[in-house]
Amino acid sequence: MTSTRALLMVSGGIAAYKACFLARLLLQAGFSVKVAMTEAATRFVTPITFEALTGHSVATDLWGEGQSEALDHIEYARWADIAIVAPATANTMAKATHGIADDIVSTLLLAFGGPVLMAPAMNDNMWRHPATQANLQTLHDRGVATVGPGDGWLACGTISEGRMSEPEDILAAALEMAGSLKGLRPDQHPRQEPSSIQSGFWTGKKVLVTAGPTFETIDAVRFLGNRSTGAMGFALASALIQSGAQVHLVAGPTAMLPPRGLVQTDRIQSACEMADAVATGLQAGCDWLFMSAAVADFAPKEIVDGKIKKESMQGHWSLDLQGNPDILAEVVPVHRTDETKVVGFALETEDVLNRAASKRQAKNMDYIVANNPTAEGAGFGGVNHQVTLLGSDGVVWQSDSVAKSKLAWGILNNLADNEKDTEYDPRG
């Protein structure tokens, strides 16, 4: 399956570090990503960082030195569907405006004929300067899209306009740009066509989403955890927000940044803390609950003050564990209303569909998303994944192996379609 190809061009500003996060988000959203950097940008972030993130060599010069090939400024321009300049410094914007091509980024901008998205980042005085504003207007007149800049802390120590937009906001603009490309097959878009937006099914609905792992404390430095990154839950929350829902996210310990537009975010550590947060969220009222978190089944019976010394273990170690609350079986039934729809997630490694169907029925869930992270085409984190959505009548939808952002849209779209079919089913 072909994904939208994004050429990320990084110019020399302190915000270059944010481009690393943007590259990861683009990949998680299903884009193919290649990177080009000005020489000044390499003083802030090394090319090998982007090579490790994207799996592609990074174009850094016009002379075929280092990682670059002599014709990268042509080949990368031919390869890309969209171009993203982040950060876009005043210097890079000026070069783009006047057709100057004296480094790899400015040359690529001159050679690239597709849609361009710029994320300006500079000192506030530089941003407000008439020359920069005139350049911005010229770029807009030529069809270049921009996102930001925003207000915030600048490298000079002031709080003002000029800060590069957050990677999540740039990603949203890139998704919109990719979605408007002409002549692409539906499976070439970085996410599934958001029919749930057009149908308005999720608009205004109050949705509680859980995401990520839970960590159960052993002592001052150790914990029991699992490999969940929260990527699926965060993708669902993001898609729900874009579909008009009011989203309350309860997230376990994860390095991922929550999507913008949440009405409430609770950061928790343990299963008991997640159970309390879910109970509170249900009491406040919600139309849908998505339990995508990977909640630990057990926790240490006693938490040790300080650090357990290796010498005291005498070559072996055993933990006395006790069961955690089963949130879906014990907490949700007490606090949900008859109108609350519940979607659970079943992580299984064998007899996946049967086990998931049994779990859905036993815990009185409306739907369950079955997945096997050890199967081919699946896995934890930002890799592609595949799931099966089950309802009371069996399989509702089975996905291909795609990015979790696409899975989120697929789940929401198929839930909306299934609910509408049920609502208007003449059989009652």
Instruction: Please give the positions annotated as active site.
Output: 156
Give the CA distances from residue 413 to residues 81, 216, 418, in Å, rounded to whole numbers and listed in that order. Answer: 26, 35, 9
Kindly list the strands in the beta sheet with 32-37, ordered across the sheet, starting from the edge strand earlier in the chain. Answer: 32-37, 5-10, 82-88, 116-120, 145-146
Cβ distance 325 to 271 under 8 Å?
yes
Q: Tell me how far apart the alpha carbons of residues 83 and 92 are, in angstroms, rounded to a whole number.
A: 14
Please count the residues of the chain.
Answer: 428
Q: Tell me how far apart the alpha carbons of residues 16 and 394 are, in angstroms, rounded to a whole number.
A: 48
Going by C-beta distance under 8 Å and a sequence separation of 6 or more, which residues neighbour residue 142?
none
- Alpha-carbon torsion, ordered 218, 224, 229, 232, to 10 deg: -120
For residue 365, with 0-12 CB atoms within 10 Å meaning exposed, 13-18 middle and 19 or more buried, which class applies?
Answer: buried
Q: Helices 404-423 and 231-242 sit at what angle, rounded to 10 degrees?
A: 60
Structure tokens at 413: 């779209």
Going by C-beta distance under 8 Å and a sequence separation of 6 or more, which residues neighbour residue 382?
24, 27, 28, 229, 231, 403, 404
Q: Tell me how far apart the alpha carbons of residues 357 and 365 are, in angstroms, rounded to a whole number.
A: 10
Cβ distance 211 to 254 under 8 Å?
yes
Going by C-beta distance under 8 Å and a sequence separation of 6 or more, which residues neighbour residue 278?
208, 210, 250, 289, 291, 327, 331, 332, 335
Q: Is 266 helix (H, G, I), strand (E, B) or coil?
A: strand
Cβ distance 397 to 389 under 8 Å?
yes
Q: What values do phi and psi take at 375, rounded to 5?
A: -75, 160
Measured at the CA of 270, the angle between CA 264 and CA 271, to 5 degrees, comes to: 90
Q: Tell me how far apart the alpha carbons of residues 372 and 292 are, in angstroms, rounded to a whole number.
A: 14
For residue 288, with 0-12 CB atoms within 10 Å meaning exposed, 13-18 middle and 19 or more buried, which class applies?
Answer: buried
